[in-house]
């Protein structure tokens, strides 16, 4: 039996895809095909599409939350092209922080990600903190060490109770399993989820077992079941498949089975 009923979360990361003119219709279609009890649904479109997706979901399915794909580590200033937490007020209620592509393409450090986490919490945004190792780290047996360092760097200096109150979600992204043809196993994700919660415990989180952990590594309707079959995995951060209504319907449908089973187990 699970110590606590953690939410089952499916978050769609649309990355640099869609435009304001087509994002609203895609959001409505996905929302309409994923109305499944017990699953928390989040759509994270590009910044320019936040307003259109928000408006579409408010009208069609307000149960689907809107998330931003990033947030700046400062509140305002000379940061051309960036978006701060106050700017997201009214547009998004969730935010992805430290995605592997941000780390890779923008050189984001654990310290910088930690500052972004603080801004998200201050701004009332629910953060999805991404962690995960590269192929070289996995092959060298450093996977757990790398993820522990990422967690420590991001959470350093933050009050654990305050971040927990912001309902932190952690997404484990094995970078080596994203678009490489090399697949992670459910057991890989489960082992890392357990290590993440153990690390949170060492960092002073008294209720580490209540933190939802998502899997994010080339998730599809065909493989989601393997990950959700693991009791330590609480959903998925979905990339390319989140742009396809059929895929999202399958992913959220399978997540609903997990949510129902968990509810039954604690009833």
Is 53:76 a contact under the CB 8 Å cutoff?
no
Alpha-carbon distances of 207 from 8, 29, 96, 124, 153, rounded to whole Å: 17, 37, 22, 20, 19
Instruction: Give Cβ neighbours of residue 227 (< 8 Å, ≥ 6 apart).
Output: 186, 189, 215, 219, 233, 236
Q: Measured on CA atoms in the order 242, 245, 246, 252, is the torsion positive or negative?
A: positive
Is residue 158 part of the annotated active site? The answer reads no
Q: Is 111 a catalytic residue?
A: no
Complete DSSP assignment for 118-157: HHHHHTTPEEEEEE---HHHHHTT-HHHHHHHHHHHHHTT
Q: What residues have CB less than 8 Å from 115, skipping those under 6 apart?
A: 73
- Indicate which residue of 101, 133, 148, 173 is catalytic: 173
Give the span between the Cα atoms of 233 and 194, in whole angstroms: 9
What is the C-alpha separation between 24 and 45, in angstroms, rounded? Answer: 10
> Of 73, 99, 148, 210, which residue is the catalytic one?
99
**Hey, which residues are catalytic here?**
99, 173
């Amino acid at each position: 039996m699970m110590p606590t009923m953690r939410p089952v979360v499916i978050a769609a990361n649309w990355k640099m895809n869609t435009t304001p003119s087509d994002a609203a219709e895609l959001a409505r279609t996905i929302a309409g095909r994923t109305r499944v009890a017990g699953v928390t649904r989040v759509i994270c479109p590009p910044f320019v599409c936040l307003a259109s997706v928000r408006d579409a979901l408010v009208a069609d399915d307000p149960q689907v939350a809107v998330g931003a794909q990033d947030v700046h580590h400062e509140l305002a200033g000379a940061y051309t092209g960036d978006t701060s937490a106050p700017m997201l007020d009214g547009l998004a209620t969730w935010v992805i922080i430290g995605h592997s592509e941000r780390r890779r393409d923008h050189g984001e450090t654990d310290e910088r990600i930690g500052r972004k986490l603080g801004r998200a919490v201050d701004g009332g945004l629910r953060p999805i903190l991404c962690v995960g190792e590269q192929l070289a780290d996995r092959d060298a047996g450093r996977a757990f060490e790398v993820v522990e360092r990422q967690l420590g760097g991001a959470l350093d200096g933050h009050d654990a109770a305050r971040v927990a109150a912001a309902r932190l979600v952690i997404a484990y992204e094995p970078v080596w399993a994203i678009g490489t043809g090399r697949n992670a196993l459910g057991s890989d994700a489960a082992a890392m989820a357990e290590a993440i919660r153990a690390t949170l415990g060492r960092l002073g989180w008294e209720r580490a077992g209540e933190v939802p952990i998502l899997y994010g590594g080339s998730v599809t309707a065909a493989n989601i079941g393997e990950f959700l079959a693991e009791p330590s995995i609480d959903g998925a951060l979905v990339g390319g498949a989140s742009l396809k209504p059929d895929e999202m319907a399958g992913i959220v449908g399978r997540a609903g089975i997990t949510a129902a089973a968990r509810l039954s187990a604690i009833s």
